[in-house]
Structure 1
Amino acid sequence: MKNVFLALLSLLFVLPAFTQTDRKARTILDEVSAKTKAYKTIRIEFTYKMENKAQNINDSFKGVLISKGEYYKLSFSGQEIFSNGKTVWTYLKDANEVQINNVSKEDDSFTPNNLLSSYNENFKARLLEENSKQQVIELIPVQKKNFNKVRVTIERARKIVSSITIFDKNGSTYTYTVNKFETDLPFTDSMFVFKTSEHPGVEEIDMR
């Protein structure tokens, strides 16, 4: 679930390239991507929901993401994930434990300025809906993936992603909804580094 969740967040920052796309959908996505990448910092309050009706699953939680270039801090469901572009710290509050890893170069790694560059290269995109408030675009993977499609809803006035839903092949849907979107706040680089001194007795598990 964590990898799917991080992939959802990635879509907010840099939208993918496409092999087959209707022209209007591509123009919209290019505008959103260019505007988002121009912000110095971003802070988002969000709701994440995972639903599978056949299995009677309906889970959700709220969280906060702050980003500055390749730096980010993600707080959700009793976890805090810090990254300074080189190191990732995953802090589990209940266990008072932090896992330390190098930033992954794998295709499913999450960095706000890198939308899974190889993973999301080949999509068909089409504009599903458009009105005065929002635009809805559907992304279909050309190559076989573990999901069928992604639906991206864009707030038309501000040209920001307001929600993303992944439709998994097992019948699950994973939805990320933006509740608050703030930009160009004064975040210092030190905010994206886990500080042991602020967590007395924390157990460090170095997995590098």
Structure 2
Amino acid sequence: MKRLTLITLSVILLSSITVKAQLDKNANTLLDAVSVKTKSYSTLKIDFIYKMENKEKKINETKGGSLVMKGDKYKLEISGRLIFCDGKSVTTYLKTENEATISANQSDDDAVNPTKILNNYSKNFKPKYIKDATEGGKAVAIIDMTPIKAKSYYKIRLTIDKANKQIVNSIVYDKNNSTFTYTVNKYTPNPAVDDSKFIFKKADYPGVNVEDLR
């Protein structure tokens, strides 16, 4: 009886290991497919809804936003901020204060640009396939991305449209018990975008106060 119990436990353990390995393989396969599709676009525009929530501090903020990407360049508009990245530097402009801060582009600043999550994700994250689900009539996969190096956040949860190979939702969980949710409304592949769109031009913002931290 004892021997049978041990055999049964061994089978269960091996089965769980096999299932976990298969799920991890599924996560990598799907992330690779999403990465390939995203990289196939010369430019990409994403319109999304942004939600910040912190129950302890009673914060619940929802706003619209947009992201335009071209290679390692991007322009992000969200919650009263404009963020320009020309590939070398990042300028954050605050509309209400009419202030801009310029800093060097950090290679590990992956919470801003979703392509950075996908590029070399295996070196920067440990993906875990959570489950399959149905959202809005579409089959989706839920994958958690845990950063290998210490970050201000401890997890990014991705919801991926399995048929279209697109991220439809991402939730960033930071260490201050806040969540930042980005829900995609629309993908626009290959819009015409000039490189000048990713450059902050001081002349466009009369009276702006600029702080250069590079």
Using the size of structure 2 for normalisation, the TM-score is 0.75
SS at match of 1:191: helix
Paired positions, count: 188
**In the alignment, is the contact (CA less than 8 A) between 1:69 and 1:112 conserved in 2?**
no
The answer to whether residue 190 in structure 2 is matched with residue 190 in structure 1 is no
Matched residue, 1:206 = 212
Q: Percent same amino acid among aligned pairs? A: 40
> Which of 112, 136, 139 is equivalent to 2:141?
136
Using the size of structure 1 for normalisation, the TM-score is 0.77
Structure 2: state its 5+ residue gaps: 1-20
Pick closer, same or farther for the CA change 1:148–1:190 going to 2, 3 Å. Answer: closer
SS at match of 1:63: strand
Larger mean CA deviation between 143-152 and 45-54 belongs to 143-152
Matched ranges for 1:103-182 at <5 A: 103-105=105-107, 107-108=108-109, 110-111=112-113, 113-115=115-117, 121-131=124-134, 133-139=138-144, 141=146, 149-168=155-174, 171-182=177-188
SS at match of 1:46: strand
Matched ranges for 1:16-55 at <5 A: 22-55=24-57
Instruction: Report the residue type matching 2:143 in the other structure.
Output: E
Q: Whose helix proportion is higher, 1 or 2?
A: 2
Deviation at 1:65, TM superposition (A): 0.6
Q: Distance in 2 between matches of 1:77 and 1:142?
A: 25
Instruction: Report the residue type matching 2:158 in the other structure.
Output: V
Structure 1: state its 5+ residue gaps: 1-19
**In the alignment, is the contact (CA less than 8 A) between 2:38 and 2:115 conserved in 1?**
no
The answer to whether residue 72 in structure 2 is matched with residue 70 in structure 1 is yes
Q: Distance in 2 between matches of 1:189 and 1:140?
A: 31
Q: Distance in 1 between matches of 2:158 and 2:190?
A: 24
Q: Calculate the aligned-residue CA RMSD, in Å.
A: 2.8
**In the alignment, is the contact (CA less than 8 A) between 2:130 and 2:144 conserved in 1?**
no
SS at match of 2:31: helix
